[in-house]
Structure 1
């Protein structure tokens, strides 16, 4: 029975314990259920708040997106407008630049074309002028050829050259043209220099000669390098020169009206060189015919020497007058020297007078200073 009672007690105890455990489980379950309910309620509120917050954030974001889209649209519109404005401005500027460039290119092109046409015109004018000059030169050469082919024309050419040389170097009273060297004679020399001779005039005849045919054939012979032909043409030229020298000597050398010699002027240096190379010919011209041969350079030197001689003679002729003038100048200088000496003496006297006056002034000044000192002492 004790065991039964103990067992019953134990069972009762266990039953109570089970009841307690069950109650505890029930309470725990209720507590957990309440806790879960409370947690669920809190979570649902939070979810609502979160949902509302998210909704508000979404609305705010959508509003900001809308505002951003509007701003972007405005910026896009502004950018498009600005781009259009820039495009229009660039188009206008490019148009202006194009017009300016075209204008400048047109002006430059017109200027260059004008300059080119002007230059071309000037050059064409120069060409035309040169053609005219060449034509004139050709005409002149033809005229010269015609003149040289005519004996009288050749003589005229030599006379013109000789006359120009005389006119260039001498005074008009130092030579004469177409002179009758002998009074009342019909023979007239082309030119004659007027040389002074004890107050009278003596003529130096000058006649120009140009044996063009003989000289031309000699040049052709030289070009052909034919010694025999050269010698023959030299003889022909010598004979021509001798003939002209004889004529000049017989017609124009008439002392005492003229000098005892005359000048044969050869107007070409080459011709003159050929003549003076012939020593035998030159000896005949000097000794037999009393003729001096002169080319352009030689005659020019001779005329310059004569001009210097004329000046020396003029100085000699006027030497007495110069001496009288020097005597007058000397007398005037002596008078001027005496006048300077007298002026110096008077200046010296004036200087002494000024020195004396200065000394007297100093004495008077000292007296005045003494008077002033006395007045100061008395006061």
Structure 2
């Protein structure tokens, strides 16, 4: 029951009580009939007002219920939309989480596979060689290196960098002392760490000596070689905790390098090769320029000879023109002589001229 209905029932109850009390009072008086008629009239009026009030209340309740229903329907619709959006967002997040779980599972498998590779000494060596090859291929042209190259002493090196003299070809050999490093990392106390660190130092020192003996060949390679450590952690541990080993490697001319340091070295090698190519190209250009200058000098000699020929030809032409003028002049003189003789014959007497001609 709503609040308006409860109010209406309360009003009706109050009116009924008032009517009952009024009728009880009028029963004891002589003028009860008139009062009763008046009371009935009031009661009828109150009944009509009550009906009208009920109608108004019913209309307001209907309007109120309509508005409440509309609001409730809109609220439910909005709530459904929000719920659907939340469900869609949760579904998308679940898809992302599912993909992330798949990636994590794949990564876990790869980590497990990597652990299996690193646990095998031969596979671990191949891992270092592959990493070395990838770094070299990314930094240098194909003509600048040779993998698994055989030296003159019969030893095979992981990578041989073809550099001009000096410094000459540089050998790079990959070593991965993972077992010694793991013993150092897994050590539980300081004495165990000291023992494991000495073991790591002994293993790396052996690698340094082997590289110095095998891959530094006088007259064939450079005076130094590179020991590639395919783990930055191992490289950092050696440089920070084993300074005597670093000094020993420098005395042996075997320089250790992690992946980052090796990349810097390879970029330096690339710059050296570029400068060497430019120097070689400059030598070729200088040779071609010298040859061209020789051709220019020969051309100058030939032009001088041609100019000399032209000068001689001009002199010959001038001489010819002089001879021509002399010949022309003499011809003119001869022509004048003949004309004069003809006039002299014409002027002579006929008899004399005939006698002279007969004599």
Query: Normalization by structure 2: what TM-score?
Result: 0.55
How many angstroms apart in 1 are the aligned matches of 2:133 and 2:71? Answer: 68
1:217 matched to 2:183: yes
Q: Displacement, 1:100?
A: 4.4
Pick closer, same or farther for the CA change 1:142–1:85 going to 2, 3 Å.
same
Q: Secondary structure at the match of 2:210?
A: helix
Q: CA deviation at 1:146?
A: 1.7
> Contact 1:195–1:204 at 8 Å: present in 2 too?
yes
Q: Which residue of 1 aligns with 2:91?
A: 121
What is the root-mean-square deviation in Å for CA atoms of aligned residues? 3.7
> Which stretch of structure 1 is more off in the superposition, 315-324 or 276-285?
315-324
Aligned partner of 1:142 among 108, 112, 118 = 112
Gaps of 5+ in 2: 1-47, 290-359
Seen in structure 2, the aligned counterparts of structure 1 residues 91 and 152 have a Cα distance that, compared at 3 Å, is same
Q: 2 CA distance for matches of 1:105 and 1:303?
A: 69
For residues 1-379 of structure 1, the aligned pairs below 5 Å read: 91=62, 95=66, 97=67, 100-182=70-152, 185=154, 187-197=155-165, 202-221=168-187, 223-226=188-191, 229-276=192-239, 277-288=241-252, 290-319=253-282
Q: Any idea what SS the aligned residue of 1:195 has? A: coil
CA apart distance, 1:99: 5.7
CA deviation after TM superposition for structure 1 residue 321, in Å: 7.2
Distance 2:87 2:197 in 1: 59
Residues 181 and 203, structure 1, Cα contact 8 Å, conserved in 2: no
Q: What is the CA-CA distance between 1:278 and the residue it aligns to?
A: 3.3
For residues 126 and 156 of structure 1, the distance between their equivalents in structure 2, rounded to whole angstroms, comes to: 36
Change (3 A) 1:103 1:156: farther
Please identify the structure whose Cα radius of gyration is greater.
Answer: 1
SS of structure 2 residue aligned to 1:301: helix
CA distance in structure 1 between the partners assigned to 2:282 and 2:157 by the alignment: 34
Displacement of 1:209 in angstroms is: 0.8
Q: Cα deviation per residue 1:322-342 (whole Å; 9 max; x = unaligned)?
A: 8899xxxxxxxxxxxxxxxxx
Superposition deviation, residue 301 in structure 1:
2.2
Preserved CA contact (<8 Å) 1:275 1:281: yes
Instruction: State how far apart, in whole Å, the 2-side matches of 1:246 and 1:291 are.
Output: 8
Are the aligned partners of 1:148 and 1:154 in contact in 2 as well (CA < 8 Å)? yes
SS at match of 2:217: coil
The 1:285/1:111 distance shift into structure 2, 3 A limit, reads same
- Structure 1: state its 5+ residue gaps: 1-75, 326-379
Q: Is the 8 A contact 1:196 1:202 kept in 2?
A: yes
What's the CA shift for 1:197? 3.9
SS at match of 1:196: coil
Distance 2:160 2:148 in 1: 8
TM-score, structure 1 normalization = 0.53
Offset at 1:87?
A: 7.1
Number of positions where the alignment pairs a residue of Structure 1 with one of Structure 2: 240
Which whole-Å CA distance do the structure 2 matches of 1:100 and 1:193 have between them? 83
CA deviation profile, 1:331-365 (whole Å, cap 9, x unmatched): xxxxxxxxxxxxxxxxxxxxxxxxxxxxxxxxxxx
SS of 1:267 mapped into structure 2: coil
